[in-house]
Structure 1
Amino acid sequence: MKYKIISLLLAALFFSCGNEKELQLPQIEKADINEIQDVSPAYLFYDETQPDSVLLNRKNLISTTNWLVNVDKRLTLKQAIPHIKFLQDKKKSSSHKNENAKNYFTCHDLSINNLGFLEFTTTNYNLEKPEIIPSDISSFEHSGNIHLIYFGENKDISISKGNTIPIPEKMNISTLKKEIKEIDTLTGRIILNFDKNLKFQDYIFYKSKISDLNLNHLSISNKEYLYN
């Protein structure tokens, strides 16, 4: 089955039990992936009638396919990530597996006004702020090769170079990319940290910008931490 839509509305409409539901996809400027085959979808709706304002619909998921996880951009990471972790664990524990099947977030690609996809198959979500990350520093001589980036709720970004105290100045994504290029001279690893109250729209925006970086010596850890 091919998953490609010719035209895309800003709000995707879905129907469940005869009731119309709206899911607003997060927007990105340009996606690296715009077409995926052999898929099944899951939906995380923004629903204020639910205790945590999230309604998960996963009825059509098939464990051996690529999963397209449609998350409403209005949800916070605190609301969405536990459900995303649940889906990841569900697939990993399935008795029917396909090692080539991946997981993607569905987005609205503004460059083509159609669907785009952002892979998160190997992302490991941790619901706390990191202090010491042994598995991340084991391949380096010391923790000075670890750089922590913090994405705050109010679009504030800071960076700890070499596990030092974060830079106090507020910076935007363009400034952050320049900072990263300056430290991209020695082998090291970047660990991403996100405020739990960050909207999913902002999370996808930051992830897409970070994935666009052409790094020579640094690598992005697959472990991501939520804090606050």
Structure 2
Amino acid sequence: MKYFTLIVLFVLFSCGNKEDILLPKSAVTVVADVQDHSPIYIFFRTKDKDTMAEVNRKNSIISTNWILNIDKRLPLRLVIPEVIKLQQKKREEKAHKNEKAENYYSYADTIGKNLAFIPFTNVYYKMEKPTGTILFFNKNNEILIENTIVKKEKVKEVLIQILSKEQSNNFTLSFNKDLSFGSYLQNKIFIESLNLDLKSKEEYVH
């Protein structure tokens, strides 16, 4: 899946309209290819001074892998409620359920010049504040652990100091609701790179 500009252009043949989505970017490839998939789009819209998220899932098939193509400019407070609805629909489906079908976010791989993907099938989103040991990304995209700002290169070290080496994966991810989806996805890829095998499958947005 090649991309040649920062704007990934999707043509929705069902309505004959051309729609632009600015995908997040990363120099890391988490998943290079997804077979048997259905695309879902969440577009960036504006009306007067308001920003809105518009979902198009006309081509989605429950039994396939879902790829969510989400505009990186959208804030999490608009994106995540829509993602929760989509996840709920797929999880509650009985007639055509495929236990092997996954959900992925797409992004632009700046090294391979391809689309790449990161899975979120097992993530359960909550629009509230978490408890316990929290790794929080604030609206300025700074990382806080136990309310203290930590540099990216020190995150794993600090978690081990707080939780011990054996428990360094026992923390909760939390994100400011006004963080852009583009920043969120880059942070997800960063957490993936730590190879911590997170115990908690919940992510909080508030």
Q: TM-score, normalised by structure 1?
A: 0.81
* Overall identity of the aligned pairs, in %: 35
CA distance in 2, matches of 1:87, 1:9: 28
CA distance in 2: counterparts of 1:225 and 1:200, whole angstroms: 14
Residue in structure 1 matched with residue 5 of structure 2 by the alignment: 9
Residue matched to 2:27 = 29
From 149, 154, 157, the equivalent of 2:135 is: 149
Q: Following superposition, which runs of at least 4 residues in structure 1 exceed 6 angstroms of deviation?
A: none
Q: Distance in 1 between matches of 2:74 and 2:179?
A: 8
Distance 1:219 1:55, change over 3 A: closer
Q: Which one-letter code corresponds to 2:141 in the other structure?
A: K
Q: Write the distance in 2 (CA, Å) between the matches of 1:177 and 1:109.
A: 24
Aligned to 1:118: 118
Contact 2:107 2:115 (8 Å CA) reproduced: yes
Give the Cα–Cα distance (whole angstroms) in 2 for the partners of residues 28 and 178 of structure 1.
23
Q: Structure 1: give runs of 5+ residues left out of the alignment.
A: 132-145, 161-165
Aligned length, in residue pairs: 200
Confirm or deny that 1:69 pairs with 2:65: no
- TM-fit CA distance, 1:52: 5.1
User: Which residue matches 2:45?
Assistant: 47
- For residues 42-100 of structure 1, the C-alpha deviation after alignment (integer angstroms, 9 at most, x for no partner) is 00000113965111000000000000000100000001001111110111122210000
What residue is the counterpart of 1:139 in the other structure? none
* Distance change >3 Å, CA 155–CA 22, structure 1 → 2: same
The higher radius of gyration belongs to 1
Please give the alpha-carbon distance, in whole angstroms, between the structure 1 residues aligned to 2:193 and 2:186: 11
Mapped to 2, the partners of 1:180 and 1:27 lie a distance apart of 27
Q: Is the 8 A contact 1:8 1:115 kept in 2?
A: no
- Alpha-carbon distance, 1:220 to partner: 4.1
Whether contact under 8 Å (2:11, 2:17) holds in the other structure is yes
The structure whose RCO (Cα within 8 Å, separation 6+) is larger is 2
Output the CA distance in 1 between the equivalents of 2:160 and 2:112.
29
Q: Which stretch has the larger CA shift, 89-98 or 69-78? A: 89-98
**SS class of match (1:125):** strand
Partner of 1:189: 170
RMSD between superposed Cα atoms in Å: 1.9
